[in-house]
Amino acid sequence: MCQLLGMNCNVPTDIIFSFTGFATRGGRTDHHNDGWGIAFFEGNGVRHFVDYQAAVASPIADLIKSCPIKSKNVISHIRKATQGRVALENCHPFVRELWGRYWVFAHNGDLKNFMPTLDGPYRPVGTTDSEWAFCYLLQQLRKRFGDRLPVLAELTPALQELTEEIASHGVFNMMLSDGSALFAHCATNLHYIVRQYPFAEAHLSDEDLSVDFSQVTTPNDRVAVIVTEPLTANEVWTQFKPGELKVFVDGMPIE
């Protein structure tokens, strides 16, 4: 199946180090070679890049590795197709508008017999179970809250209910963000780490690359990285529990 990568920070931060290791799994150190994508929130806008080529062969992925785009919320995905052909419209993450905000979504897993009625404005463009689930999720949120943007304390339990409903149809590891928070739901496999002062050196598992974060950060910086499988060999990652939904704000999971 696919793999997910997310980043949530308290200050705009680039994801070059983490993405470099993650992209290597898109056809070199792992078999997720059916396309990839990444989305960066920047103010009210989103920089969105997708490619049906494997991440290790994509010139666009090379651009992301070399261009320090800074963001407080990033979602990336490397694809191993289970439903839907290898095509641009089936590459994650997907982007839609709700409540005057962009929402970015990516999914790892396989949903069986999941084709609920879509009777609102959201329709899939591609042919994946993932995009169908995203459209359904936004539709149900709109039905529940109407045109009113809910506060986080209202939105989180609603998302917990919806993710549990969708996950009853199969494997539903997902990431979702509106630029103010990052939601991550684990069905089978997700891990996270919070990097904060005092910072140390990190070494990638999939590439011979290290970064001493104490040299490129300030004592006030805080960065949460969420990923399917840990990206570094010398850091302690926390594994999600199956069925757990975590919300990250300003580089920390909130209870």
* Residues marked as catalytic: 2
3-class secondary structure, 77:
strand
The sign of the dihedral angle between the CA atoms of 78, 21, 236, 211 is negative
| Cβ–Cβ < 8 Å for 199, 217 | yes
Phi/psi at 42 (5° precision): -145, 105
Cβ atoms < 10 Å from Cβ of 136: 21
CA dihedral 63, 65, 66, 70 (to 10 degrees): 100
3-class secondary structure, 3:
strand
Q: Record the tokens describing residue 237, joined without a space.
A: 């990652």
Pairing, β 238-239 against β 191-196: antiparallel
Q: Quote the CA–CA distance of 240 and 231 in Å, as a whole number.
A: 15
Q: Quote the CA–CA distance of 193 and 231 in Å, as a whole number.
A: 10
- Residues 6+ away with beta carbon under 8 Å from 165: none
Q: Quote the CA–CA distance of 28 and 38 in Å, as a whole number.
A: 18
Q: Quote the CA–CA distance of 247 and 255 in Å, as a whole number.
A: 8
